[in-house]
Amino acid sequence: MARIFCIANQKGGVGKTTTTVNLAAGLAKVGQRVLMVDLDPQGNATMGSGVDKRQLTTSIYDVLLEGSTVAEARVRSDKLAEAGCSYDVLGANRDLAGAEVELVDVERRERRLQAALAAVSPEYDFILIDCPPSLSMLTLNGLCCAHGVLVPMQCEYFALEGLTDLVNTIKQVRANLNKELAVIGLLRVMYDPRITLQQQVSEQLKAHFADKVFDTVIPRNVRLAEAPSYGVPGVVFDPSSKGALAYLAFAQELVDRIGSLQAP
Ligand code: ADP
Ligand code: MG
């Protein structure tokens, strides 16, 4: 069965999508079978995985609301296959923006994604879910079916404050909907060690959250920001760039951590 992780942080622009697509590609590169689920109507993770969101005939919207199966809706980009970093994509586009409202009247509305993923879970080692920048019904669908949450964050002044809301939401979901849900770890992203404030916040994070903070740090690196316009993750676009190497190291750290979690 796949390990299912949400990449979540209710703030926008903190590196969720960049983390999702680069982790997906990084895990694929070390031989893991990966499904990437785009839960954000912006469809950035879809586009950043080489899949044109405007050309999707079946998307996650159809899976959540129209009874389509994941097997019918998933796609795979040739560009990633050529690079040896291939993973399946359950894509999103603007249709998904309506799902938030439409789900309100649906039975077991927060468990739609869980039900859909159950059928394909045995085919994967990892399912990564790119969440929208909100603690909405879509994010709730992700949290309901996940084993854990990966939280990318910038080491800035308000970072810790935002984290409290997310941690409280995760606690509530654990109490009411999904007792398996755990915070797997906090990932420091867009890190610039020359900025004293970032060093200080990074130290605070480690003081508060100890081993919940991943050892790998993702630096600010322009190659990661350029990659989406070529429709590939940074680890495919420029594998030797600092950003790509950091995400590859992160993929390995995660695999190691999961291994140690599963040990008796
Ligand atoms: P989110 O999904 O949380 O909204 P994104 O992953 O889309 O955040 O990142 C926001 C912006 O920052 C994007 O333009 C992205 O290319 C850029 N970005 C993300 N991570 C890095 C990084 N490590 N270095 C430089 N730019 C980054
Ligand atoms: Mg995003």
pLDDT of residue 190: 98
CA of 68 to the centre of ligand 2 (A): 24
* Ligand 1 probe mutation, 9, 16, 18, 150, most atoms within 8 A of CB: 18
Residue with CA closest to ligand 1 atom 26: 225
Whether 224 lines ligand 1, by a CB cut-off of 6 Å, is yes
pLDDT of residue 94: 96
- Domains, in order of start, for the chain: 3-262 (3.40.50.300)
Residue with CA closest to ligand 1 atom 11: 13
Residue with CA closest to ligand 1 atom 17: 225
The ligand whose atoms approach the alpha carbon of 43 most closely is 2
pLDDT of residue 260: 65
Q: How many CB atoms are located within 10 Å of the residue 83 CB?
A: 19
Whether 8 lines ligand 1, by a CB cut-off of 6 Å, is no
Whether 220 lines ligand 1, by a CB cut-off of 6 Å, is yes
Torsion, Cα of 8, 9, 10, 14 (10° steps): -120
> Under the phi-then-psi rule, with left for phi > 0, alpha for psi from -120 to 50, and beta for the rest, what region is 108?
left
Identify the residue whose tokens are 């939280």.
151
pLDDT of residue 162: 81
Average pLDDT of each block of 10 consecutive residues along the chain (264 residues)?
Answer: 96 96 96 97 98 97 97 94 94 95 91 97 97 93 97 90 88 95 96 94 92 97 98 97 98 88 50
Reading the block at residue 51, the tokens are 């899949």
Q: Per the confidence metrics, is the pTM higher than 0.85?
A: yes
pLDDT of residue 78: 87
pLDDT of residue 124: 97
Whether 188 lines ligand 1, by a CB cut-off of 6 Å, is no
Whether 218 lines ligand 1, by a CB cut-off of 6 Å, is yes
